[in-house]
């Protein structure tokens, strides 16, 4: 499955679905020539970024949960941290791995739809 398909599907299946994608993401369009052929590239860019990058480091899964909730409030998007993570912009993928592990161990909870999306990502890991 193509990355865009994952993103659209995961957006619709997560808590983010209550918001329109274009309220939070823009596409930078690049029009160029490559090997004599015209190419168009669409690069997703978040409109709202948290001030600081979130790394898993040695933080407990509970501290990471507090931090992702703060990011969601800051970017004004439920489950926004997940899409920033898959974009590789401000949330390290190791944060997603740690939270997925915490979900599987029953140490933390997310809304069911978000938990399903995160666990699926952990099994089919991708970044764009």
Establish if 128 belongs to a structural domain: no
| Domain annotation covers residue 26 | no
Decide if 32 is inside a domain. Answer: no
In a domain, 111, yes or no: yes
Place of tokens 């933390």: 108
* Residue 86 belongs to a domain: yes
Domain extent, residue 67, equals 3-18+50-123
| Residue 74 included in any domain | yes
Asked whether residue 28 is assigned to any structural domain, the reply reads no
Asked, for residue 81, whether it belongs to a domain, the answer is yes
Number of domains in the chain: 1
Instruction: Kindly report, residue by residue over 57-115, the tens digit of the pLDDT.
Output: 999 999 999 999 999 999 999 999 999 998 877 999 999 999 999 999 999 999 999 99
Q: Is the pLDDT of residue 29 over 80?
A: yes
> pTM here?
0.84
Three-state SS string across the chain, please?
Answer: CCHHHHHHHHHHHCHHHHCCHHHCEEEEEEEEEECCEEEEEEEEEECCCCCCCECCCCCCHHHHHHHHHHHHHHHCCCCHHHHHHHHCCCECHHHHHHHHHHHHCCCCCCCHHHHHHHHHHHHCCCCC
Q: Is the pLDDT of residue 15 over 50?
A: yes
Q: At what angle do helices 112-123 and 93-104 cross, to 10 degrees?
A: 120
């Amino acid at each position: 499955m193509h990355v865009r398909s994952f993103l659209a599907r995961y957006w619709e299946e997560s808590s983010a679905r209550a918001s329109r994608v274009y309220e939070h993401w823009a596409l930078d369009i690049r029009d160029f020539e490559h090997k004599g052929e015209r190419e168009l590239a669409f690069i997703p860019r978040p409109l709202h970024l948290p001030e600081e990058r979130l790394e898993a480091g040695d933080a407990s899964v509970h501290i990471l949960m507090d931090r992702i909730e703060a990011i969601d409030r800051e970017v004004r998007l439920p489950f926004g941290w997940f899409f920033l993570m898959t974009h590789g912009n401000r949330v390290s993928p190791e944060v997603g791995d740690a939270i997925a592990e915490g979900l599987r161990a029953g140490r933390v909870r997310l809304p069911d739809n978000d938990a399903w999306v995160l666990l699926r990502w952990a099994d089919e890991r991708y970044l764009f």
